[in-house]
């Protein structure tokens, strides 16, 4: 028995001895490999460019095909290039490239690392939701029921068609006593609505509205908006001039609002990173950014890649924000719970 134990122990030591020289040989090879710093220069340069694009995205000009706004719309997704560069640097056995890959990783974490944490809170006294229902929605009644099932006190709908409005009214009226439809947008509320009117966002037809919701905890000015769509065309790039013009007009309307507590619900066809929405984003907070979990992408519904549907507030405390399950639309509905203040009415 003693002999057998000694043999096994000796065998294990021999295995360790074999592994140790292998490790020493590898380290020796790396120390003596003078090309470890020269290889991968192209990869390192690409990593540096990626870091610069993310860190200086606001400096990318919009004069050519709105390239800056296009980059900012999908800015978080540039992260997928980082592990690719890391693997290529390992394959090339390039210390230069490996170190360079750290730069875009650090920049990305600085920009979006905070969104990886759960920022949701508890409490609040008003739940709001918004949904671009899609003009070609095959099941408007089902979509209305799905949104109402969220428990929202106030619901905004965008891309309403004249033929579908009665369907939404019938499906929602049992839950929401008050509603107002202005053009292609509408607002349904469990609490009384007043001062409902269209908001001119320089389109020639109505795709935005404003109303006062009088909740038990206070009054809230609610804006519902559906900004013009943007397109990516080979010959013109990211075409968003009309969207940008409407965003500026919407920002001016919100800036002129008399009530101190304001919420904006709608499809803005742009993300919070898009500089073209500065007229709005500079004066309001995104509930997802302040009290959400993750990025909260809302479009396209089948594989969400961007949060272009927004719930934003001013003079109101966001508590939590989330996306709702897929409906018959190409957008996901989104919801948020906020805290109103009676002193802010």
pLDDT of 49 over the 60 cut: yes
- The pTM assigned to this predicted structure is 0.85
Sign of CA dihedral 269, 271, 272, 274: negative
End-to-end CA distance of the chain: 87
What pLDDT, in 10s, does the model give residues 156-202?
A: 999 999 999 999 999 999 999 999 999 999 999 999 999 999 999 99
Q: What is the pLDDT of residues 267-309, one digit of tens each?
A: 999 999 999 999 999 999 999 999 999 999 999 999 999 999 9
DSSP string, 107-124: HHHHHHGGGGSB---S--
pLDDT of residue 342: 78
Question: Whole-number mean pLDDT of the chain?
Answer: 90
| Whether the predicted pLDDT of 5 surpasses 60 | no
Asked if residue 30 has pLDDT above 60, the reply is no
Give the pLDDT band of residue 13 (cuts 50, 70, 90).
low
Q: What is the pLDDT of residue 62?
A: 83
Domain spans of the chain, in order of start: 33-116, 126-344
- Give per-residue pLDDT as tens, 196-223: 999 999 999 999 999 999 999 999 999 9
Pick from 281, 290, 282: nearest CA to 308: 281
Q: Are 101 and 92 in contact (CB under 8 A)?
A: no
Pick the CATH number of 126-344 from 3.40.50.720, 1.10.3720.10, 3.60.10.10, 3.40.50.700: 3.60.10.10
Q: What percent of the chain is predicted at pLDDT more than 90?
A: 78
Which residues on neighbouring strands pair with residue 193, listed in sequence order? Answer: 213
């Amino acid at each position: 028995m003693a002999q057998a134990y000694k043999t096994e122990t000796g065998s294990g030591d021999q295995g360790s001895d074999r592994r140790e020289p292998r490790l020493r040989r590898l380290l020796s090879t790396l120390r003596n490999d003078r090309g470890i710093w020269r290889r991968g220069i192209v990869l390192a340069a690409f990593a540096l460019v990626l870091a610069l694009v993310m860190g200086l995205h606001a400096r990318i000009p919009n004069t050519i095909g709105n390239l800056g706004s296009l980059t900012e719309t999908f800015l978080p997704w540039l992260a997928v290039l980082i592990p690719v560069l890391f693997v290529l640097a390992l394959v090339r056995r390039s210390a230069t490239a490996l170190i360079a890959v750290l730069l875009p990783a650090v920049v990305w974490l600085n920009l979006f690392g905070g969104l990886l944490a759960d920022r949701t809170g508890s409490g609040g006294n008003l739940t709001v939701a918004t949904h671009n229902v899609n003009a070609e929605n095959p099941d408007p009644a089902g979509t209305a029921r799905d949104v109402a099932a969220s428990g929202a006190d106030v619901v905004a709908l965008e891309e309403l068609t004249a033929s579908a409005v009665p369907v939404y009214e019938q499906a929602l009226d049992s839950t929401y006593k008050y509603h107002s439809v202005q053009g292609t947008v509408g607002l349904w509320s469990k609490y009384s609505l007043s001062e409902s009117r269209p908001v001119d966002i320089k389109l020639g037809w109505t795709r935005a509205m404003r109303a006062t919701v009088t909740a038990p905890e206070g009054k809230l000015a609610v804006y519902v908006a559906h900004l013009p769509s943007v397109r990516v065309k080979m010959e013109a790039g990211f075409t968003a001039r009309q969207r940008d013009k409407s965003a500026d007009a919407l920002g001016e309307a919100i800036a002129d609002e008399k009530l101190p507590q304001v919420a904006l619900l709608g499809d803005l066809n742009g993300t919070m990173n898009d500089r073209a929405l500065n007229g709005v984003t500079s004066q309001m907070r995104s509930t997802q950014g302040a009290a959400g979990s993750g990025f909260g992408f809302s479009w396209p519904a089948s594989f969400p890649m961007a949060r272009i549907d927004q719930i934003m507030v001013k003079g109101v405390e966001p508590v939590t924000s989330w996306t709702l399950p897929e409906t018959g639309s190409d957008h996901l509905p989104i919801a948020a719970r906020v805290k109103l203040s009676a002193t802010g009415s």
